[in-house]
Amino acid sequence: MTENKSVKSAFCIRCLKDTNFVLQSDGKWQCPNCNSYLEGELLNKVVFISARFKSHGSSEIDGERLTSELRVEVQQLNSDGYEIVSLTPVTSGFRDFKYETGAYGYSYGYGYSFTEGIIIVARKV
């Protein structure tokens, strides 16, 4: 008997990443990572709004741009019949350090974090 596994690529709202859902014998699509079913996927929508820096080389996020992109997306979701369930900021970090010994030894270290974007979870109403 050969196993004929059908897979469907979709966004898993539990794992928060694109996943290859596997078709089960009962006709349901199951996430191989968290074992949740795709059923609810039809009622929920997850959108990622990417934040951008104010300018090249800048470490400051363009908040106005992020806000307007968020507003457009939320309006679109609402007009499609979705209600926003949650907004989650995604934060990234950066760090660096150096340590030199000897007669002219020195060291430095720094780190910072920034909002990389916002995950919108919406539900069909």
Q: Which residues bind Zn ion (CB under 5 A)?
A: 12, 14-15, 31, 33-34
Q: Smaller CB distance to Zn ion: residue 31 or 118?
A: 31
Q: How far is the CB of 16 from Zn ion (least distance, A)?
A: 8
Total Cβ atoms within 10 A of residue 48: 14
Q: How far is the CB of 119 from Zn ion (least distance, A)?
A: 15
DSSP state of 5: -
Q: Smaller CB distance to Zn ion: residue 12 or 47?
A: 12
Give, in order, the Cα–Cα distances in Å from 90 to each of 48, 50, 58, 115, 118.
9, 9, 18, 6, 6
Q: Tokens for 122, please give them.
A: 């919406």
Q: How far is the CB of 54 from Zn ion (least distance, A)?
A: 35
Q: Smaller CB distance to Zn ion: residue 18 or 96?
A: 18
How wide is the angle at C-alpha 117 spanned by C-alphas 46 and 122, nearest 5°?
20
Q: Tokens for 58, please give them.
A: 């800048």
Q: Smaller CB distance to Zn ion: residue 33 or 115?
A: 33
What's the CA gap between 27 and 87, in Å, rounded? 32
Q: How far is the CB of 13 from Zn ion (least distance, A)?
A: 8
